Structure 1
Amino acid sequence: MSSGPFRFKQFDIRQDRCAMKVGTDGVLLGAWATVSHRPGAILDIGAGTGLIALMLAQRSDAGLIDALEVDDDAFEQCVENFEASPWNDRLFCYHAGWDEFVDEMDDRYDLIVSNPPFYAADYRSDDETRAKARSNFSLPFNELLAGIPKFLNPDGKFAMVAPAAEEARILALAEANDLFSERILRVRGHEGAPVKRTYFEFGLARVPVQEEELTIELDRHVYTEDYIALTKDFYLKM
């Protein structure tokens, strides 16, 4: 595998020291999360390479985009990718775990995003570092959701992605922490395949829920119009 960067239209991602590489989950979350409410401050929890934070920097005029990464190598690579980007004056990465951040910080954000480490039911890995990064024990959903309200501005949004099998549990955990779903996107890899991922966007008030589905491919490397529309500002070949 090449050790060179993953090139997007407006920035590059170096990922040779990161267990979790650039993937569809992160790209879709970075492209799908709402920025129409013009967030002034954004937080990316479990930033990894910094991909989602960089996508949100491209999509918004947010003056402050914070990221949080606990893994030593991933933190260093995230900082490297931030510094090499056109938006380095707006991006900052904390080297800490979510529990430390919740205990020590009091900042408020207009948008919080997270592609949290999890094991999908069909996930297998022989790579210990990658497996650890994927493990739900690294950032359990209940701990993630419990901490969000402390940092969310009254009109703020929290967007995350999880295995579709966890959808009902996450919705219940969110409501238990006074987070209410505003948008839900269910994603399948190709036509006829089961839904594999659910994307959630929560707020602090009950509103009608907007529910959608997205199919990524019509055939191998033949992408749907909806997927292209979401990602065309980022992928070089879209």
Structure 2
Amino acid sequence: MAAPFQFKEFTVQQDRCAMKIGTDGVLLGAWASINHHPFSVLDIGAGTGVIALMLAQRSSAELIDAVEIEPNAYEQCVENFEQSPWNDRLFCYHASLAEFAEEIDDTYDCIISNPPFYEDTFTSPEEDRNTARFTESLPFKELLQAVSKLLSPQGNFSAIIPYKNEEEFCQLATAENLYLNKVTHVQGNKKAPVKRSLLAFSKQKSSLEQTNLVIEKDRHIYTEDYKKLVQDFYVKM
């Protein structure tokens, strides 16, 4: 059974969730654009709820919603929200993104998503894990169409995806009138290829802010940039 993950200000239970706490989610939660003190936040494909919890810690947003389709992950997310210091601001919906987007009339100032992205033909025998991690369960086009509908005019949308999908993702975003404002390319170490892209979009065109982030100098020896990014969350670095 997966042990709870202890952050500085909250704990995440993950024993019933197919996808456990990983570097991608923590990176996104720490990096995501939350300019202009958002009133409302939406986490699409919440899993354990860790990213929404990180945004609750980072912001004064009064409304932090999450949507999760997989039943076990949904129940776990609700439990983690209820046990957190911000339980009065956090709410999780059990629905597909398409259902949620159709029913919700309001817009959000900040939307975040760590979407499923393994596009390979191989699928795991664990159905929950497949739902959590294979692109077919939430195609990028469907995600971006929903974001375009749900994002407020001045809002930000942040996501983490494989670097190899960045160009395709950005083209699909532009087709939905979402413009790339900020990108950070993530490497495990200086010699490793770029594996992940942290992307921030809005409905406003602006000059592109580009940075690189290297996680480790050596095995379990973290760079100052990475430590600075996650220092408010990890108990030990």
Rounded Cα–Cα distance in structure 2 between residues aligned with 1:138 and 1:3: 24
Correspondence 1:139-218 to 2 at 5 A: 139-218=138-217
Amino acid of the structure 2 residue aligned with 1:176: A
Q: CA deviation at 1:128?
A: 4.1
Count of residues paired in the alignment: 236
Q: CA deviation at 1:131?
A: 2.9
Q: CA deviation at 1:124?
A: 7.8
Give yes or no for contact 2:16–2:76 (8 Å, CA) kept in 1: yes
Equivalence for 2:115:
116
SS at match of 1:190: coil
Correspondence 1:77-116 to 2 at 5 A: 77-116=76-115
Normalised to the residue count of structure 2, the TM-score between the two structures is 0.96
Equivalence for 2:219:
220
Q: CA deviation at 1:53?
A: 0.3
Give yes or no for contact 2:119–2:134 (8 Å, CA) kept in 1: no
Gap change, CA 1:63 and 1:201, over 3 Å in 2: same
Q: CA deviation at 1:232?
A: 0.6
Please list every run of at least 4 consecutive aligned residues from structure 1 whose deviation after the TM superposition is greater than 2 angstroms: 123-129
Equivalence for 1:16:
15
Equivalence for 2:34:
35
Give yes or no for contact 2:33–2:157 (8 Å, CA) kept in 1: no
Rounded Cα–Cα distance in structure 2 between residues aligned with 1:46 and 1:132: 10
Q: Superposition RMSD on alpha carbons, in Å?
A: 1.4
- Percent sequence identity over aligned pairs: 56
Unaligned runs of 5+ residues in structure 1 are none
More off after superposition, 64-73 vs 102-111: 102-111
Rounded Cα–Cα distance in structure 2 between residues aligned with 1:39 and 1:97: 24
Correspondence 1:59-78 to 2 at 5 A: 59-78=58-77
Gap change, CA 1:232 and 1:147, over 3 Å in 2: same
SS at match of 2:206: coil
Rounded Cα–Cα distance in structure 1 between residues aligned with 2:216 and 2:125: 28
Gap change, CA 1:197 and 1:120, over 3 Å in 2: farther
Gap change, CA 1:217 and 1:125, over 3 Å in 2: farther
Amino acid of the structure 2 residue aligned with 1:187: V
Rounded Cα–Cα distance in structure 2 between residues aligned with 1:212 and 1:126: 38
Rounded Cα–Cα distance in structure 2 between residues aligned with 1:151 and 1:94: 15
Q: CA deviation at 1:104?
A: 1.4
Give yes or no for contact 1:120–1:163 (8 Å, CA) kept in 2: no
Equivalence for 1:3:
2
Amino acid of the structure 1 residue aligned with 2:31: W
Amino acid of the structure 2 residue aligned with 1:157: N
Give yes or no for contact 2:70–2:128 (8 Å, CA) kept in 1: no
Q: CA deviation at 1:117?
A: 1.1
